[in-house]
């Protein structure tokens, strides 16, 4: 988390409560992003397909 990225012209621009709120929101956003990355990493990867295989290339559909 980059606290230096807060758009403040001076430390007295925001009250302590709003500064704490801004930092808490950034920590929460970072936490949600990490949880999303973890959830995506737990999904199984699809199996690698062999492009030279004829499996699935010859599909006959009768209507």
What does the pLDDT look like over 10-53, one tens digit per residue?
555 568 888 999 999 999 999 999 999 999 999 998 777 777 77
Round to whole Å and give the CA distance between 1 and 35: 15
pLDDT of residue 12: 57
What's the token pair of residue 4? 């230096």
In terms of Cβ atoms closer than 10 Å to its own Cβ (0-12, 13-18, 19+), residue 22 is middle
Are 54 and 29 contacting, i.e. CB atoms less than 8 angstroms apart? Answer: no
The pTM assigned to this predicted structure is: 0.49
Round to whole Å and give the CA distance between 39 and 55: 31
């Amino acid at each position: 988390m980059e606290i230096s990225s807060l758009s403040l012209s001076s430390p007295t621009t925001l009250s302590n409560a709003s500064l704490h709120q801004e930092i808490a929101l950034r920590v929460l956003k970072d936490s949600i992003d990490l949880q999303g990355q973890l959830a995506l990493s737990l999904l199984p990867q699809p199996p690698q397909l062999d492009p030279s295989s004829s499996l699935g290339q010859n599909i006959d559909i009768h209507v």
